[in-house]
Structure 1
Amino acid sequence: MQPEPSAVLRHRTVEAPAGRLHLVEQGTGPLVLLVHGFPESWYSWRRQLPALAAAGYRAAAIDVRGYGRSSKPAKTDAYRMLDLVEDNVAVVHALGEENAVVVGHDWGSNIAAASALLHPGVFRAVALLSVPYAPPGGPRPTDVFGGIGGPGEEFYVSYFQEPGRAEREIEPDVRGWLAGFYAALSADTMLARGEPDPHFVARGGRLRDRFPAGVLPGWLTEDDLDVYAGEFERTGLTGALNRYRNMDRDWEDLAPYRGAPIRQPSLFAGGTLDASTTWLSDAIDAFPATLPGLTASHLVEGCGHWIQQERPEEVNRLLTGWLDTVTD
């Protein structure tokens, strides 16, 4: 007896501006496109795919260009936001659909938001996890990030700007670096308040110098870590890090959308222990103006950055309940 389609994970590649994009889909019904962040892959949605399929949706989790089995263009500027948005549009059409709901986490949240902003006819609703929507505009990003941090410290986004610099830190020990990075931003393993902040690099030091050592967060098994590490050991980190190296280009590209709201139905969920929600609290406060179609905004108590992996059952409940209101 063949298993039901909703019970099967289906790997496939589709043509896209990136060259090819790998995705994993499960279920049948209205399309829900899942977009991961840094440093992850489609696998970060492993607990959402079956839940969305069981709820009557066709869930498709992509490897963003530069990650996993998707194409990895050589040029740094091939990772600008406009290109990633067009990849998402191409996936929807390659899957035989005219529109989809898009859900993103971390950088995927920014990509999902930009997709909804630039193509409201294709992305009819948007859910943002961990990173809230802030409309394009404001000062040049590298100027802002360059001014963050105390004496003798450098913000991680600035540290990632120079091609090759972060790669030299990470790639000799991908598995160990990922374990530390995931632990640093997880509720159950993050360092105590008052400890040196892992979002900053001491001058002449490494980002990992401030990571917790020798511990994995509860959501991450050794096998899960093997999956993530195996992909980055194969591909390297440059494609993933190039997302950070295009922030000024994005600022220029999206200047025509300065201050623009996203009007489609939307959802936000973030952890109370996630720096993305605390540092960007003003963006959350501005949701009535920036996300006028917002259905609900949830701050999950005691949750860190990796929200759909730290709290999969709660996130699945929030997503499926919201999807039922926007896909009737």
Structure 2
Amino acid sequence: MVEITHRTVSSNNIRIHLAEAGEGPTVLMIHGFPESWYSWREQLPVLAEQGYHAVAMDVRGYGRSSKPQNVEDYRMMLKVADVVGVVDAIDNGKVTIVGHDWGAPIAWNSALLRPDLFSGVAGLSVPYSAGGGVVRPTELFAMMAGDDDFYINHFQEVGKAEREIEADVRQWILGFYWGAGGDVIDGPNISMVRRGGTLSEKFVYPDVMPDWMTDKDLDVYTREFEYSGFFGPLSRYRNVDRDWEDFSAFAGQPIAIPSLFIGGEKDGPTIWGASAIANYNQTLPKLFKSEILPGAGHWIQQERAERTNELLLEFLNSLK
């Protein structure tokens, strides 16, 4: 059995929690919402067994990492600075960075701004889009939603979504995970929220827990969020307009290092990002592979752990 160890490091003037396994070239994995280092539980031991130093971090606002108190403390520029600080603290040469969900934009933007620190970058679920556009993201989402609220706009008001989720953390997480997973056939579209309603109104629940999300796994996530709360995780969404402003100077800029993309056939961000994926010949000129996993939903490295691991190892081995 591969041992997973835990420590905290100082990064960008805050505390970041790391879960680590193995020795060798470092692979830094960054989770999304509502996740934690634990989302990489199927990758940590496999990468370690194959000769890599596998590291999964808790993003600021999550788990044992610091939880700043201001919404603007969760803007993308600071997330990238956190990653840079983690790479410095690990001090193991160039790193390959991998991100899922919100972790994917963190990984993409880290590679964009600091290509000198990374051997390669892999994004799961959320394609690299090279930014830009003349309309603020929240305005664009409002136009997409029509008479409803897009879930990102639903999360904008501080306290509203927190109250909804924290009334029953375990049930909310289960509904959100199941609703965005590939097991749900023709389920409700949980990306759209009834104006004045709650996201959880559309949740459906499994009759039997899937193999990729056991009761034990759900208990781990529940404990993590009952400890950390949801202000920090939700505040990532509350910075999309700030990020649009902060990164305006980099709009259209390609990522210059080797890259990998893994999406899910049933995954919302992958489907919405079809035009970005089609433009990879310009935005990811050193793309190793872009693969859409049949039947997979949003939780790619958990739902399709075996294939995700195969693709990551193929990519990592190509960087040697």
Counting only pairs closer than 5 Å after superposition, residues 34-73 of structure 1 correspond to structure 2 as: 34-73=29-68
Counting only pairs closer than 5 Å after superposition, residues 176-187 of structure 1 correspond to structure 2 as: 176-187=171-182
Q: Does 1:199 align with 2:191?
A: yes
Aligned with 2:241 (options 242, 245, 248): 248
C-alpha contact 1:35 1:104 (8 A) present in aligned 2: yes
CA distance in 2 between partners of 1:191 and 1:209 (Å): 18
CA distance in 2 between partners of 1:241 and 1:67 (Å): 10
Counting only pairs closer than 5 Å after superposition, residues 78-117 of structure 1 correspond to structure 2 as: 78-117=73-112
Greater CA drift, 285-294 or 199-208: 199-208
Counterpart residue number, 1:234? 227
> Which aligned segments of 4 or more residues in structure 1 are displaced greater than 6 angstroms?
none
TM-score for the superposition, normalised by structure 1? 0.95
Q: CA offsets per residue over residues 263-287 of structure 1, 9 Å max, x none?
A: 1000001110111111110010000
Over 3 Å counting, the alpha-carbon distance change for 1:18 and 1:227 in structure 2 is: farther
List gaps (5 residues or longer) in structure 2: none
C-alpha contact 2:25 2:93 (8 A) present in aligned 1: no
Aligned with 2:17 (options 8, 22, 30): 22
Calculate percent identity across the aligned residue pairs: 52
Counterpart residue number, 2:143? 147
- 1:191 shift after superposition: 4.8
- 1:198 shift after superposition: 1.1
CA distance in 1 between partners of 2:114 and 2:93 (Å): 11
Q: Any idea what SS the aligned residue of 1:121 has?
A: helix
Q: Which amino acid aligns with 2:137?
A: P
State the Cα RMSD in Å.
Answer: 1.2
- 1:313 shift after superposition: 0.6
Q: Does 1:261 align with 2:254?
A: yes
Q: Does 1:288 align with 2:281?
A: yes
Q: CA offsets per residue over residues 37-96 of structure 1, 9 Å max, x none?
A: 000000000000011011110010000000010000001101111100011111111112
Q: Any idea what SS the aligned residue of 1:268 has?
A: strand
TM-score for the superposition, normalised by structure 2? 0.97
Q: Which amino acid aligns with 2:308?
A: V
- 1:204 shift after superposition: 2.2
Q: Any idea what SS the aligned residue of 1:183 has?
A: helix
Corresponding residue pairs, total: 318
- 1:18 shift after superposition: 5.1
Q: Any idea what SS the aligned residue of 1:163 has?
A: coil
Aligned with 2:113 (options 118, 135, 146): 118
CA distance in 2 between partners of 1:35 and 1:22 (Å): 11
Q: Any idea what SS the aligned residue of 1:208 has?
A: helix
C-alpha contact 1:18 1:72 (8 A) present in aligned 2: no
Q: Which amino acid aligns with 1:141?
A: P
CA distance in 1 between partners of 2:280 and 2:249 (Å): 20
Q: CA offsets per residue over residues 124-170 of structure 1, 9 Å max, x none?
A: 2100101100012112111111112243x111000001111100110
List gaps (5 residues or longer) in structure 1: none
